[in-house]
Each structure stands twice: as C-alpha cells, then as structure tokens.
C-alpha cells in the first residue's frame, strides 16, 4: 500500500502540464484493484472505473478522502490525493472505454 502513496507523492512533486498524462500515471496505482485502464474481468468483485461519469468518480473520491463515504479500503487510498489529482484521475478514467 505504501508504494501507492509514494507514487502519488513522486507524481505530485513533478507537475505534468498535460492533464491526461498525469491522469494516466496516477491511474497506474488503481490498476491493481480496478484493473488495467479501469477494466476488470466479468464477475470481478471490484467496480470497473472505465467509462464512469467524471463527476461520479471525482465525487466518490472526495467523499472517501473526506470521510463522507464509509469504505473498506478507499478511504485510506483517497487520502493521498489533492483536488487537481482527483480531477485528473476522474477525467482519465471517464475517457476510457467501458
């Protein structure tokens, strides 16, 4: 789990101009659970993020981060992200094919 926070911290230290590159890089930390590019095999227990509405992803991430949505793991993970990083993640996942 520590690796994810480290990755987020490293990325945060090097702001990338193109938001989609930043979103893709940040999304690598989600792939282990939500699947490569946010797609999971049929029947997998975790929600695929690919193609979900941008606002939904961003709202849920903020709710996890701010303790407004109870979770088993996402409240921990979401804590590491700034608002611009959440927006970059949400934009990137929303643009992926379901």
By CB under 6 A, tell whether 74 contacts ligand HEC: yes
Going by C-beta distance under 8 Å and a sequence separation of 6 or more, which residues neighbour residue 98? 39, 48, 50, 51
Tell me if 21 sits within 8 A of 92, measured CB to CB. no
By CB under 6 A, tell whether 57 contacts ligand HEC: yes
Fill in the per-residue mask, 4 to 23: x = in contact with ligand HEC (CB under 6 A), - = not in contact: --------------------
Task: Compute the distance between CA of residue 54 and CA of residue 11 in angstroms, rounded to an integer.
Answer: 21
Going by C-beta distance under 8 Å and a sequence separation of 6 or more, which residues neighbour residue 67? 75
By CB under 6 A, tell whether 94 contacts ligand HEC: no
By CB under 6 A, tell whether 71 contacts ligand HEC: yes
By CB under 6 A, tell whether 49 contacts ligand HEC: yes
Only one residue has tokens 């804590």, namely: 79
Binding stretches for ligand HEC (CB under 6 A): 29-30, 32-34, 46-47, 49, 57, 60-61, 71-74, 77, 89
């Amino acid at each position: 789990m520590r690796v994810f926070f480290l990755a987020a911290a490293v990325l945060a230290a090097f702001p990338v101009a193109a938001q989609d590159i930043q979103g893709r890089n940040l999304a690598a930390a989600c792939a282990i659970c939500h699947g490569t590019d946010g797609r999971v095999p049929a029947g997998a227990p975790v929600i695929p993020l690919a193609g979900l509405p941008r606002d939904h992803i961003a709202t849920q991430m903020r709710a996890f981060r701010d303790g407004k949505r109870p979770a088993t793991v996402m409240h921990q993970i979401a804590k590491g992200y700034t608002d611009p990083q959440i927006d970059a993640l949400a934009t990137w996942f929303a643009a992926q094919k379901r």
